[in-house]
Structure 1
Amino acid sequence: MKTPGGGYGFRFFDVDGRTVEVSADVRARRHRRVEEKESVPVRLSHVVLNSPDLDRTRAWYERHLGFALSDTLSSPHMGEVMHFMRISSQHHSMALAKGPHTSLHHVSFEMRGIDEYMRGSGRVMRAGFRKVWGPGRHVAGDNTFTYFLDPHGNTVEYTTELEELDEDTWHPHVYDFSQPEVTDQWGTANPMNELIAKESFNDIDRSCFVAPPV
């Protein structure tokens, strides 16, 4: 491929009509050294996608791309609302959330440890961007979280210390997210409520493929 980074790839649609791109043999981008306490993201941690049919979307990613279920969030009143999916020993590189339409839920960026995670979260807050939720620490994945709205209204997260699993012995859990300690082990984040949840519905993805009627 005669584009920056080289390599090759292809695109296809998932069951919700999203465009999925697979790339291989792309040259790694050289970057400068990140100094201690500089507190900038070092990689993409995971993405979460909204789907109006949670189980159908989960089954599609398991069957066609080899994802495995790590854990599920549920509640007595809403049923299952999120599946954490892995493609390696990392607890999740993708999660699927129950939403009113197909859209992005949030994108999460990895920081190098608790100190840099807190410094980075504080820097974004001091810059005047709206903090939606956090700082705190989830049970599913055992990772820290602070959620913000970017200038375009998308939900983004700073995180660190996402759990690494022993895939040979791991069994998925179902966590009741109506319990405060499930959404935030520390008890430091503002309580989860409907207003916070709606911030992650985001706008309808208008670029999804819709099959013509048969």
Structure 2
Amino acid sequence: MKLSALQAGFNLDHIAFESPTPNELSKFYKNFIMMEHVEKKNQEIICEGQNRKVILIKGKKKKLSYAGFSCRNRKNLEQFKNFIIANKVPFSKFVNSHLEKGAFSIIDPDKNIISFGIRKKTKIAFKNKFCMPLQHLTFSSRDVEQFEHFYCNMLGFKTTDRVIHKNRSLATIFLTSNHEHHTIACFKSNKIGIDHYSYEVSQWENIKILCDYFSQQNIKIIWGPGRHGPGNNLFIFIEDLDKNWLEFSAELEIIHDRKVNEWPQSEKTLNLWGKGILRS
């Protein structure tokens, strides 16, 4: 039996970045993003909080090393593996140590390493219970059409919304692997890499709490508060020490069964309340 990524049900579990100064960056995540547990292991610095994990590796600034998605159960994982084998998607030799044995990895058309597996259970008792799990990862690509084809047709993510230029070319694509509006997305850009990644904070009240918290820590909010068109979610953005964009999102649309929405490429699509940051 085969299951698509959507049918199997995947959540974003962890993200690994390269950084020229991973030790300094780990202090930022510990002190300001509430990653209580910081551990050095196998050339990696693992920063972990309640349902959120960022891995830092010595290397180039703002470069994704790999990302991991976790599945509901092992049966679904195996049936998803059958799905991508049937689609002749080659497996990478990369071994992701942050997922249970039996995980596997692929390389997408922009050379991003994406792993799929079962989340490893942690024995860490986190004191900070603020609800802020990792939720989605958004890329930049020169070829958004190719990105959509690979993730939708070859892996079985579901397209939820498209943002369209006046010439009908794709500006942005939103795709999901569960019930949430998107777990992965991609902006048309003249560069290849990460645009941003996001934490889900559940409700508007928590956005306000974070705004006050970041103000107290002298961390500037670089975009927002606002509301995206696609996904209808509330948001704020900050930057870490390497200028990676971190989004904190609330009240993201839950998808049941609807047609793909199309939006015009405009500032209002990106922010219904005010200024939008266009990538193309």
TM-score by length of 1: 0.76
Is the contact made by 1:7 and 1:25 (CA closer than 8 Å) also made in structure 2? no
Distance between the aligned counterparts of 1:193 and 1:26, measured in 2? 36
1:24-63 correspondence to structure 2 within 5 Å: 24=118, 26-27=120-121, 31-32=125-126, 40-63=130-153
Size of the aligned set, in residue pairs, is 185
| Alignment match, 1:14 | 108
Distance between the aligned counterparts of 2:99 and 2:178, measured in 1? 24
Q: Please, which moves more after superposition, 26-35 or 16-25?
A: 26-35
CA offset digits 1:115-154 (Å, max 9, x no partner): 1122113322332223221001112101111111111110
Q: Please, which moves more after superposition, 107-116 or 120-129?
A: 120-129
In structure 2, list runs of 5 or more residues that go unmatched: 1-94
CA offset digits 1:139-176 (Å, max 9, x no partner): 21011111111111101101111111112xx1011111
3-state DSSP class of the match of 2:211? helix
| Alignment match, 1:90 | 180
Match of 1:123 among 213, 228, 231: 213
Q: Shift of residue 41 of structure 1?
A: 4.6
- With over 3 angstroms needed to count, the CA separation of the structure-2 counterparts of 1:7 and 1:135, relative to structure 1, is same
Is the contact made by 2:100 and 2:117 (CA closer than 8 Å) also made in structure 1? no
TM-score by length of 2: 0.59
- With over 3 angstroms needed to count, the CA separation of the structure-2 counterparts of 1:25 and 1:151, relative to structure 1, is closer
Is the contact made by 1:8 and 1:25 (CA closer than 8 Å) also made in structure 2? no
| Alignment match, 1:71 | 161
Q: Shift of residue 15 of structure 1?
A: 1.2
Distance between the aligned counterparts of 1:121 and 1:78, measured in 2? 37
CA offset digits 1:64-103 (Å, max 9, x no partner): 2111110011232784211000112211111111111210
- With over 3 angstroms needed to count, the CA separation of the structure-2 counterparts of 1:25 and 1:126, relative to structure 1, is closer
| Alignment match, 2:226 | 136
Q: Please, which moves more after superposition, 25-34 or 49-58?
A: 25-34
| Alignment match, 2:18 | none
| Alignment match, 1:184 | 271
Is the contact made by 2:139 and 2:193 (CA closer than 8 Å) also made in structure 1? yes
Q: Shift of residue 22 of structure 1?
A: 1.5
Is the contact made by 1:7 and 1:26 (CA closer than 8 Å) also made in structure 2? no
Distance between the aligned counterparts of 1:64 and 1:147, measured in 2? 31
Is the contact made by 1:89 and 1:165 (CA closer than 8 Å) also made in structure 2? yes
Q: Percent identity?
A: 19
3-state DSSP class of the match of 1:8? coil
Distance between the aligned counterparts of 1:5 and 1:50, measured in 2? 26
Distance between the aligned counterparts of 1:155 and 1:53, measured in 2? 21
3-state DSSP class of the match of 2:140? strand
| Alignment match, 2:235 | 145
Flag the structure with more relative contact order, 1 or 2, with Cα contacts below 8 A and sequence separation at least 6: 1
Distance between the aligned counterparts of 2:236 and 2:183, measured in 1? 17
Match of 1:105 among 181, 188, 195: 195
